[in-house]
Structure 1
Amino acid sequence: METPVSHAHMISIDATALRGWPLPMPSSEGDKEQRGHVLVLGGSREMPGAVILAATAALRAGAGKLTIATGASVAQLVALAMPEARVIGLRETPEGGFTVDAIDALDPLAGKIGAILIGPGMQDETATAALVRALLPRLEDCAIVLDANAMGIVRNPDRADDAAPFRFAVPVILTPHAGEMAHLSGQEKADIAADPVPVASHAARDWNAVLALKGARTIIAAPDGAMWQHEGGNVGLAISGSGDVLAGIIAGLAARGATLAQATCWGVALHARAGERLAERMGLLGYLARELAAEIPSLLEQLTQG
């Protein structure tokens, strides 16, 4: 099935659009490798839970194999919380990031993973940018999702002030909300929220990224000019950890073989629908980000079967 996009207008992501854009499915004899191997890189002493939320969501989205790379100070905690995962402990900077020698620990995985999510719970934007910059050439054969602090590479914080404008050599996925987009672009948050379409479109083109500009109306833009929008979810999704779950869903779908745009559009829709389900059962406010991922498998089944 061809990607349902149009360069003449924006496609609304609804059940009909999703069913016309089916996700890759493993064969009935497929093993965990065929379902896709996802690596989640993130976490810190202050925010170890972010990688747990993201990694859980990646598995709930259908990925078959999970590796987590996180700070050595919290690696054992994360391993106990995620018995499904292999957990790698990385050396940390004093500010809570990872040192560039993390490359040595991650290099052996480069040819084995289908998708990598970098950013949930990471601190030290400068160290994170340096690590992402070093990783990118090694990861050109897998889907890359950058979230939270890892998106800061587009600002070149690890380079001199006269560094050239940043552009990814190979497209990646970025998932900023309006506040993060203001930080990345230098524009005002209020202006971005008021008119997100041109902001998302220009950033996707300039940075060579599939960009999901999150909000009550989420705009997804691709480097070639294709655009989608999603309206749905509820204010209950505006809670700590919700973005980590969304990024994990997207990474899990990409590990299964979805294209960058497809994984992003499906991920945004699934995340919103999970919030709607929880609000129906529990109320609009008060459900937790950790509860979102459990809704994903049945939503996938529902949207797949019609």
Structure 2
Amino acid sequence: MNWDLHVKHFGHYLRIERSLSENSLAAYLHDINMLRQFVALRDPQCSPLKVTPPLLHEFLEYVHELGMSAYSQARILSGIKAFYRYMLHEGLVEDDPTALIEGPRLGRKLPDTLAYHEIEKLLGAIDMSTPEGGRNRAMLEVLYSSGLRVSELVDLKRNNLYFDTGFIRVVGKGNKERLVPIGRDAMKYTTLYLEKIRGFPPHKEPQGADSVYVFLNRHGRKLTRVMVFTIIKNLAKAIGLDKSISPHTFRHSFATHLLEGGADLRAVQEMLGHESITTTEIYTHLDRDYLRQVIQEFHPRS
């Protein structure tokens, strides 16, 4: 079997069995194709089954010489390791050539967070006398209340709001769903937006496929990620905040404030939608009642 077929089958495996998003899938395949191109330069007849640890070391040295950062190098090696773990799992190779290869040492880069008073100042800077202000307040309350990714926020649908039980259903990476508690203020401002602003003049009534989404622009269309970024950047500028912030900053702040308040690490992991607890640890299956209790006890806006 040649590179084309192996890479194609690996892509199917990532999409179907690992349920990776298209962006993650493209990143993995890009890394494998970099290795493939390098191997072709060294030995055009070398199949992925014949790649050896010394050849992989040469490739990693080559990537280093290209001037890629340590984080990029580590990501590429991670993709190649995943490829050969798949090959080993399928019985296509007897030994994993990446098994003893270590990546560059990385310091854990801590994400930027906002102090609670900065969150309050940003929310307080929103002009609630305008329809857009009411929508923006609802959006940011949801971001901070539930720790959503920006893609999860703009993809949030009306039929996934369960305000009677204090939860929302979120579709995360790889189309994986999770139930996340939502705070009182977030429910209050979102309800106000849905009942008094969304679809009311001067905002247009939502049409077609866009009507299922919670947050829309004034033309009745689904909001874009870029628009959410712009709203947050403009608020930061308005209050003179000397930090580079984004929607993800609210997610980091959600996690950090919960953990600093004493919340259980696994509960925060569950709400963030992280599969690996080590992903959550850079912020330093539980039942719904417990998740709700964590939000009520430890979230600053509850």
What TM-score do you get using the length of structure 2 for normalisation?
0.25
Higher relative contact order (CA 8 A, sep 6+): 1
Larger strand percent: 1
Answer 1 or 2: which has greater helix percent.
2
